[in-house]
Structure 1
Amino acid sequence: MGERSTTLLVDPSSDGHHLQSVSWLTRHLAPSGPVVLLTRRGASEDPAYAEYLGDDLAAGRLAVAEVFDGSSPSTADLVREVEARCRAEQTVPVRTVVHLDGDQALKRWWYAAPRALRRLPVRPRVVFMLTRYPARVPLLDRTGWRLRVSKALLVVAGRLTGALQRVVGYKGRGDTQRGWVVTRVNDPEFCTAHARDRDRWREQHDLPRDEALVGVFGLISERRNAPMVLEALEAGRIDARLVVAGAFSPAVRTWVDGLEPERRARVVARDTYLDNDTLDQLVAAVDVIPVPLTNNGPSGIMGKAEAAGVAVVTAGSTVRAREVEALGGGLACDLTVPALAEAMRAVLAGEVELRTGTADRWDAVDRYCRTLLGERP
């Protein structure tokens, strides 16, 4: 085993998807030395914190410092806290810093960080994870190209000034390209439940046993387009119920409460925080999961569905469209009510053959960690 070193993970967010990455990286890195997470003040009060990090904290694999005033600290605050923590870890020095949501900080990191990093007795290797970098952009998408080129230039600037040594961004799970300026990494397809036990999960969570179910899960905001999914079920005269489960935004709560009785009867609404096991079981309990999102990146819920053997209908993303085609995880369609209706009808009618469904993909998690950190396979 090589020289022990401390790894500093930076993630002011307490989003469950982010914290799952923190936990995966912690378990991967802990044998090599201490792992410290810098996050926002009050993060430990979020239910997702204990859900994803509780075991790592109890086992002593992870230490946490709540140092930021919010989930979007300034780059100056990031640099100051990273420098302070690197100076504080003298016994086992910090040799790697990983920012797990670096899109915003990337704008100024290239000129704000070099001086502080040069002052450190041991200069760490800095890795940025970009969660909103467009891995693939249609040829005529001017907005997408503007975003991609601007971020790529900032990455190059960071490397030239010595502020960054590695930058990684998400790609679709079926994408085999490695990337050049920004290395591409697959978001792992990982689920602790499987559709082969669908009857069990439906009974456990009090869901209809003999009806087709369409699921919208996670943090339920307007961007998940649950009203559009319900409209598609109605427009296509699809005999299925819509399950909407997760923490609702005020707008979604108002929409559910305002549904007419006949429409409300078609919706199973669970407005509550879902721990990871419950979320996985609900994913495995339904017949199809629509992902009608306008962002072009991969979806964590979509990865869970693919691992659980549940069909996905995706719309609004060329990345996700390529993913379902490459993995055989469902159908891609246009982001319209008629197209969603036809795609869901085809899936529920058994016209789509699924080629996925390997739950508990720890090998995918290991590849994710190694690619993010730049380690050899």
Structure 2
Amino acid sequence: MAREADGASPSAYGRIAVLELDPLGHRLRYVRLLLTAAPDAGLPLLLVPAAVRSSPEFAEHLADVAAEVVEVPGDRSAAVRAAVATAAAAGARLVVPDGDKNVAPLLVALARAGRAARPGVSLLLMRTVLPGGSERTTPGMAVKPPLAALLARLPGVRVRFLTDAFGVVVRRRGFPGIEPVRDPVAVPDDGPRAPRDPDAPFRLGVFGVISARKNVPLLLAALERVPDVHLVLAGRCDADVAAALTASSLSAQGRLHVDDRLLSEAEFDAAIAGVDAVAVLHDNDAPSGIVAEAAARGVPVLGPARGWASSMVTGTGIGEVAEVSGPDAVDGVADAVRRLRAAHPRRATAARRARARLGTEDFVRGLLGDVL
């Protein structure tokens, strides 16, 4: 039987078992995509703790997916051991799309299972940041690369890293030999986007889980200096973000529009499509799904001058960037908003052009290629 370079047999598995231990952010959208792409050879298994199964995110993204739900323990190590045993007993490939915190537990679980009782495994590294970058150094940053390399060398194990939806970044320092899969972003079949009304207020949006790293206070301060731009926030806001919104004068001016709650997928899509530009001002070293979601709808992006999101914006020409730290950050972001508004038709054209680089096939094939 032919074997792939990473040791996975192309026809050994007809079923998948997907493990997810955290319902936050866009993780469950990945899980849904994998479950719905699973082959018809057997109902896929969905392995989740009780806390995930009872979460509102599960109800939104996974409640209607055809899968056999198996509850695993809440403790991470115990959950991974249970997932390995369950997948092996079912003759399924274990797929871990949120793999960063599960590399070490998976190594231990596979070693304990023994080679004869191991399932095939596909694991996705969603974050491949290393010490010394723009983010606070953690112990996990240092140990993840050697542990991931060790895991990838095991027979039947496939390790991939998540790159941006455009494929701008194709390799990651510290993770040699680990191939990328693109962040899956589907292009909606909604026809051409209507030109914006030049007499309407320019609407800039922030979406998703709106935490401190999205630099909302900086954006609020910058928009004080661009008086004809409105700010739209849709998604759950962390407490510090909500406090900054309450203190902002944009609300009294009628320029602040907030929908602080968990959005359905349809509401999330409509929110992005309903603004003139999307602000993604975090400069962390990770791919931004929001940048690609905006481009999928022909919406330009205001991004940071550094980090992975910056590479996505500048590599496709879909927006403007600004420094998000330092004494001149407020003025810099305000200037970038003005440039984006002035160049909006050109940036919107670039966003529509970038849609051709998006899709879900690379993600699915990268993780499930040997069971499809």
What is the TM-score of this pair, normalised by structure 2? Answer: 0.82
RCO comparison, higher one (Cα < 8 Å, 6+) = 2
* Structure 1 vs Structure 2 CA RMSD: 3.5
Q: 339-348 vs 164-173, which deviates more? A: 164-173
Secondary structure at the counterpart of residue 42 of structure 1: helix
Alignment partner of 1:170 out of 153, 162, 169: 162
Match of 2:200? 210
Q: What does 1:91-170 correspond to in 2, within 5 Å?
A: 93-94=91-92, 96-118=93-115, 120=117, 123-134=118-129, 150-160=143-153, 162=154, 165-170=157-162
- Letter of the 1:308 partner, please give it: R
Listed one character per residue, the Cα deviations across residues 85-126 of structure 1 (whole Å, up to 9, x for unaligned) are 13542xxx22x1111111112234334422214352xx3211
Is the CA contact 1:312–1:331 (under 8 Å) kept in the aligned structure 2? yes
Task: Indicate the SS of the match to 1:292.
Answer: coil
8 Å contact kept, 2:288–2:308: no
Deviation at 1:270, TM superposition (A): 1.0
The reply to whether residue 23 of structure 1 matches residue 21 of structure 2 is no
Give the conservation status (yes or no) of the 8 Å contact 1:174–1:324.
no
In structure 2, what is the Cα distance between the partners aligned to 1:175 and 1:80? 35
In the alignment, what sits opposite 2:180? 184
Pairing 1:299–2:288 present: yes
Q: Supply the distance in 2 between the matched residues of 1:362 and 1:50 (Cα, whole angstroms).
A: 31
Conserved 8 A contact 2:182-2:363: yes
Deviation at 1:83, TM superposition (A): 3.4
Amino acid of the structure 1 residue aligned with 2:125: L
Which deviates more from structure 2 when the two are superposed, residues 314-323 or residues 33-42? 314-323
Structure 1, unmatched stretches of 5+, are: 203-208
TM-score (norm 1): 0.81
Choose the corresponding residue for 1:74, options 73, 76, 94: 76
Counterpart position of 1:349: 342
Give unpaired runs (5+ residues) of structure 2.
Answer: 1-9
What is the 5 A alignment of 1:1-377?
5-57=14-66, 62-69=67-74, 73-75=75-77, 77-86=78-87, 88-89=89-90, 93-94=91-92, 96-118=93-115, 120=117, 123-134=118-129, 150-160=143-153, 162=154, 165-172=157-164, 173-175=166-168, 177=170, 180-190=176-186, 192=188, 196-197=192-193, 210-235=200-225, 237-260=226-249, 265-315=254-304, 317-335=306-324, 336-350=329-343, 352-353=346-347, 354-357=349-352, 364-374=359-369
**C-alpha distance 146-262 of structure 1, shift in aligned 2 (>3 A):** closer
Shift of 1:44: 3.2
Question: Which deviates the most, 356-365 or 310-319?
Answer: 356-365
Q: How many residues are paired up?
A: 353
Distance in 2 of aligned mates of 1:19 and 1:140? 28
CA apart distance, 1:339: 2.1
1:155, 1:167 within 8 Å by CA — same for their partners in 2? yes
- Cross-structure match for 1:206: none
